[in-house]
Structure 1
Amino acid sequence: MARKNWIKTFKKLHKWPAIIIAFIAILFAASGIVMNHRQLFSGVDVSRNLLPKNYRYKNWNLAAVRGSVQLEGANLLYGNIGVWKTDGDLQKFEDFNQGFPKGIDNRKIYSVIQFNEELFAGTHLGLYKRSKTDGFWQKLEIPVDKERIADLEIKDNTLLVLTRHYLLESTDGLNFKKIQLPEPVNYQRKTGLFNTFWELHSGELFGLAGKLFVDLLGLVTILLSVTGLLHFFFPKWIKRRKKKIGVQFGKVDHPLPSLVGKRNLKISEDETGSVEKLVRFKKLNLNWHNVVGYVFALFLLINTFSGMHLRPPLLIPIANKQVNIIPGTHLDSPNPWFDKLRRIHWDAANQRYIFSTVDGFFFADESLSDKLIPAPVQPPVSVMGCNVLESMGDNYLMVGSFSGMFVWNTKNGMIADLFTGKPYQTPQGMVRPIGANTVAGFVQSGHKSWWFDYSRGAIALNAQNEPETFVAMPDEVRKASSMSLWNVALEIHTGRIFEHLVGSFYILFVPLAGICLMLVIISGFFLWWMVFRKKKEKRKK
């Protein structure tokens, strides 16, 4: 009796949550496959007019602008919109993206800098150079496998190019020397738990084979969702079909229905055969659903569990946790800064480097021969990384991220909130991964400056400038700045695409969907074990 009750319970737990989550699971799977192959889909864009209104640029929000470069009588604005040239008054705009490959993702710019009378742009997919005579961007060969550029900086007569893994130096802008930074003081060979979960969820933890296997899990999820829905609707279709031809089943498991009564109905062989085909296909469909679900259940559980922890609120407790590196995985690198470098600043006053990394800020001597020293007092930086690192004079840096904007005295360690002027107090316990001011960029034009909130867009940095003084986004910029398919997939995968429907509750989309998926997977496994496996064993006997 207890066994029957368990089976009944598992059927309910498997059936109704699965019907609710099936469509969402298909969205998760399809978007995950796209996200796993960013470069492959980098040339595919989606018009923002096809997306909810909150994905349309308003006041240069959504990280449209990350920074600027002041030229003689002109400015360059760069960010998710690529690079645009404007006059000193920010009134006239000119497309400055000639030479970048097709696709907005190929001109996602992290840094632009002027060196030796030439412009250099660090993008998500490589380093580009533009001379005054050429009039278009040219991709440069750099001595690294992963070409994602994190930041650019000038040190005396040397161009510094920071990737996620290495520092590159060049004196001519053509030939680059790769430098692996020394390990930090008191180095422990660990990595972030968030990073581990991220790579486990995408499969990158195990290289290309791992990514392809996770792609397979995506296809499996789609297959299970479709076959599950078909199994739910098949009985209704069969019943409707039988009713149409005036036939009833004598036995549930009999492939051929028997006639009830002595009605003299003329049923064509095609009509009867269609019912038989539906019955056979229903059994085949269920068999595939059971076998595939059983084989991949454990892998689906692991993938779902890791994905749930990549979004708040489950992200909060793991955001700053460090764990041992799993041997033999993608993260198992001899480079202590593997995938950890984010921003670089050359501190000329003190003849030292300042690096922003996923492990915090570090100081390095000019020769880069000694171990890197962690800053005694760390400015707050969101887990999403440092977006603004600007000099405010000797020993002062402006540090901006989704945690806010702060002024950091690198000499005495004093940190103050740029907007309130109040000293920064290190919070105790778990904290939200983002603050009230989500700083995405900073622009300076002459004596005027603006910071860019991810949601609100351009905001004047001081009281002398009114927010509306920053020019409205021109139509030509808006029309040329679609959304990459990869970013659309990311918005779907994180649930943000539903924010316009449920408001701030979208933040619970991933954890709740994850719990629902795990419930469906676990109940489905036990159903197979307790019911269908037993039936299979009986048939063998």
Structure 2
Amino acid sequence: MISPIQPKKDRMLKWFKKYHKWPGLIFALFILLFSVSGIIMNHRSLFSSFDVSRIWLPGNYAYNNWNMAAVKSSVKLPDDSLLVYGNIGIWKTDSSFSSFMDFNKGFPNGIDNRKIYSLLHTHNNRLMAGTLFGLFEYDNGWNKVNIPVKEERIVKIIQKNDSLLVMTRSNLLIADLNDKKLNFSKIDIHAGEDSGNKVGLFRTIWVIHSGEIYGIAGKLLVDLVGLIFIFITLSGIFYWLVPHLLKRVKESSKSGIKKLNRFSLKWHNRLGYWSVLILLLTSITGMFLRPPFLISIANAEVSKINYSKLDDPNTWDDKFRDLIYDEVLKRYIVGTSDGIYYSDDEFGSVLRKYSVQPPVSVMGINVFEKLATGGYLVGSFSGLYQWIPEERIIMDYFTKLPYDVSSQDGSPFGAISVSGFIGNPDGNQFLFDYTDGAIGLGKSGMFPQMPVEIIKKSPISLWNTSQEIHTGRIWDFLLGPFYILIVPLTGLASVLILVTGFFAWWIPYRRKTKNKKSKTITASQPKLP
């Protein structure tokens, strides 16, 4: 006798199979690309020497007018020449930017190894560069300087009298500039006055998604997740192709294809149901790291997860972004991912947080300078602002209109995505927008065209190529601004694929288990005489 529930279960099973199959096929390419790129992104230093020529990428990845963070800023040398630096490395030029000379000798191979975040020419004629992978000093070529911290991503280098201060994303170091061999020590930075057992939700989701939350072990686990995604996607495509292949191959080849299909399907199912929870976690967290879901978490905070990377005794772990020393106020001003703080006592007590904060994108602060006209210049992907905290003034640097703090909507992007700024010795000022490149401010005119030599010597790193794929930006040339939907749609599709796939396996498995149990019970019952 057939149970009345059976047809209903069969309809459900067909529904699960249908919505496992078609979203899986439609989004297969994106899932594969996200998986491969994610594994590469998890090991930046390992892949730092590998570059990709921009000619192999869509046209919008070719440098145009110094865009894509080509330039962050410049440093003036005693001979009135300038060192322009940023994602292109370091190039020497004159005050009119009429010619450029390669100044990257000594950096390791790979464009990632010469991404410059800070450059300083000291009063005793030492030249220091802060890169993604450490501190370097110039002496007929760039030489790496040892610093006593594991995390070497430099965000700022400044000098105060005879002291050299180097800020990484997690620590502030100090050394005596008069020592031929710089000997750094850590400065103990107290917590901010508003510090608590909280951390940004964005960062929490980031380290969960990458696996970094549990160090290298967590990263390797997420790498395994990526490999599982690759296998179940390819095996799913193969399962769909098998009926078509069997119609087109010779009889002698059919048994091999069927055998491979059985093996592939077996492990497709096993890996799928064994890892469904962590696959779901990876898919869901990934969706919230890009707009539009990113907007909902950009400014949120949550409690730290105990016994994880987030539960670090260093309150400022991975939070430092920039540093200024104001000679007039005798004050250190510290840009962090939690806001902008200051210290008037050489970091002897807790950092004070400014009550009025300029808008800074969750993507980080890119311009932070003291202005001769008063206050500070603060630039990020949220725009460019003149900030005078003592007078509680925040002014749009372009329109000169006051900024309405209440108008902040949580969006990480403004009308202009500021990636760099140069104040030329002759008074000209140039802003660098991530998309549009160099923009002359006031009567500064046009910034010179980007030399062919710089373009040729500035490929895109394999890591950044992977990042463009992983964020979906690689599809901008085809979809325009709608590319931002690729990550959330692929994430939602992945959730649907995983859930339907699990139940498409579980319903037959459950039915088979029940039938087997029923047969066992029947067989164990004594037969009537």
**TM-score in terms of structure 1 length:** 0.91
CA distance in 2, matches of 1:389, 1:88: 22
CA distance in 1, matches of 2:281, 2:35: 14
Query: What's the CA shift for 1:393?
Result: 2.5
Given the alignment of the two structures, is residue 156 of structure 1 paired with residue 164 of structure 2, yes or no? no
CA distance in 2, matches of 1:478, 1:239: 51
Partner of 2:332: 353
Query: What's the CA shift for 1:394?
Result: 7.1
3-state SS in 1 of match to 2:390: coil
Aligned residue identity for 1:147: E
Query: Which one of the candidate residues 7, 10, 28 is aligned to 1:4?
Result: 10
What is the CA deviation profile of residues 386-433 of structure 1, one whole-angstrom value per residue up to 9, with x for unaligned ones? 100111137510101100000011322211000000001013573321
State whether residues 349 and 395 of structure 1, in contact with CA within 8 Å, keep that contact through their aligned partners in structure 2.
no
Query: Which one of the candidate residues 71, 76, 79 is aligned to 2:86?
Result: 79
Query: Which one of the candidate residues 460, 466, 476 is aligned to 2:453?
Result: 476
Aligned residue identity for 2:241: F
Mean CA deviation greater in 389-398 or 410-419: 389-398
Partner of 1:260: none
CA distance in 1, matches of 2:507, 2:514: 11
Query: Which one of the candidate residues 34, 40, 61 is aligned to 2:67?
Result: 61
Aligned residue identity for 1:529: W
Partner of 1:437: 416
Query: Which one of the candidate residues 430, 440, 457 is aligned to 1:450?
Result: 430
Partner of 2:200: 192
Query: What's the CA shift for 1:165?
Result: 0.8
State whether residues 189 and 336 of structure 1, in contact with CA within 8 Å, keep that contact through their aligned partners in structure 2.
no
3-state SS in 1 of match to 2:218: helix
State whether residues 298 and 411 of structure 2, in contact with CA within 8 Å, keep that contact through their aligned partners in structure 1.
no
What is the CA deviation profile of residues 69-91 of structure 1, one whole-angstrom value per residue up to 9, with x for unaligned ones? 01122000000000000112211
Aligned residue identity for 2:488: P
CA distance in 2, matches of 1:445, 1:429: 32
Partner of 2:3: none
3-state SS in 2 of match to 1:452: strand
3-state SS in 2 of match to 1:214: helix
Query: What's the CA shift for 1:348?
Result: 1.1
State whether residues 395 and 410 of structure 1, in contact with CA within 8 Å, keep that contact through their aligned partners in structure 2.
no
Partner of 1:251: none
Query: Which one of the candidate residues 233, 237, 246 is aligned to 1:229?
Result: 237
Q: Pairwise mapping of residues 240-259 of structure 1 onto structure 2 (< 5 A)?
A: 240-241=248-249, 245=251
Partner of 1:127: 135
Mean CA deviation greater in 179-188 or 335-344: 179-188
Aligned residue identity for 1:326: I
CA distance in 1, matches of 2:502, 2:461: 38
Partner of 2:277: 298
Aligned residue identity for 2:351: L
CA distance in 2, matches of 1:46, 1:77: 23
Given the alignment of the two structures, is residue 165 of structure 1 paired with residue 144 of structure 2, yes or no? no
State whether residues 45 and 483 of structure 1, in contact with CA within 8 Å, keep that contact through their aligned partners in structure 2.
yes
State whether residues 349 and 394 of structure 1, in contact with CA within 8 Å, keep that contact through their aligned partners in structure 2.
no
CA distance in 2, matches of 1:278, 1:51: 36
Query: What's the CA shift for 1:514?
Result: 0.4
Query: Which one of the candidate residues 231, 238, 241 is aligned to 2:246?
Result: 238
Query: What's the CA shift for 1:239?
Result: 3.2
State whether residues 298 and 410 of structure 2, in contact with CA within 8 Å, keep that contact through their aligned partners in structure 1.
no
What is the CA deviation profile of residues 74-132 of structure 1, one whole-angstrom value per residue up to 9, with x for unaligned ones? 000000000000112211110000010000000010010011201100000000001xx
CA distance in 1, matches of 2:194, 2:32: 46
Given the alignment of the two structures, is residue 363 of structure 1 paired with residue 342 of structure 2, yes or no? yes
Given the alignment of the two structures, is residue 143 of structure 1 paired with residue 144 of structure 2, yes or no? no
State whether residues 495 and 509 of structure 1, in contact with CA within 8 Å, keep that contact through their aligned partners in structure 2.
yes
Q: Pairwise mapping of residues 413-432 of structure 1 onto structure 2 (< 5 A)?
A: 413-428=392-407, 430-432=409-411
CA distance in 2, matches of 1:228, 1:532: 19
Given the alignment of the two structures, is residue 104 of structure 1 paired with residue 111 of structure 2, yes or no? yes
| Structure 1, gaps ≥5 residues long | 246-270
Query: What's the CA shift for 1:285?
Result: 1.5
Mean CA deviation greater in 359-368 or 380-389: 359-368
Query: What's the CA shift for 1:215?
Result: 0.3
What is the CA deviation profile of residues 490-519 of structure 1, one whole-angstrom value per residue up to 9, with x for unaligned ones? 000000000000100001110001001110
CA distance in 1, matches of 2:514, 2:266: 14
What is the CA deviation profile of residues 215-239 of structure 1, one whole-angstrom value per residue up to 9, with x for unaligned ones? 0000000000110001001112123
Q: Pairwise mapping of residues 208-287 of structure 1 onto structure 2 (< 5 A)?
A: 208-241=216-249, 245=251, 271=252, 274-287=253-266
Query: What's the CA shift for 1:536?
Result: 6.2
Partner of 2:441: 461
Aligned residue identity for 2:14: K
Query: Which one of the candidate residues 65, 78, 95 is aligned to 2:102?
Result: 95
CA distance in 2, matches of 1:180, 1:323: 25
CA distance in 1, matches of 2:132, 2:165: 16
Mean CA deviation greater in 151-160 or 79-88: 151-160
Q: CA RMSD in A?
A: 1.4
Query: What's the CA shift for 1:366?
Result: 3.3
CA distance in 1, matches of 2:384, 2:163: 29
Query: What's the CA shift for 1:539?
Result: 6.4
Q: Pairwise mapping of residues 489-508 of structure 1 onto structure 2 (< 5 A)?
A: 489-508=466-485
3-state SS in 2 of match to 1:315: helix
Identity of aligned pairs, percent? 46
Query: Which one of the candidate residues 391, 394, 411 is aligned to 2:370?
Result: 391
Mean CA deviation greater in 343-352 or 152-161: 152-161
3-state SS in 2 of match to 1:427: helix
Query: What's the CA shift for 1:477?
Result: 0.5
Given the alignment of the two structures, is residue 379 of structure 1 paired with residue 358 of structure 2, yes or no? yes
Given the alignment of the two structures, is residue 201 of structure 1 paired with residue 201 of structure 2, yes or no? no
State whether residues 129 and 136 of structure 2, in contact with CA within 8 Å, keep that contact through their aligned partners in structure 1.
yes
CA distance in 1, matches of 2:35, 2:80: 49
3-state SS in 2 of match to 1:154: strand
3-state SS in 1 of match to 2:489: helix
CA distance in 2, matches of 1:56, 1:240: 43
3-state SS in 1 of match to 2:502: helix
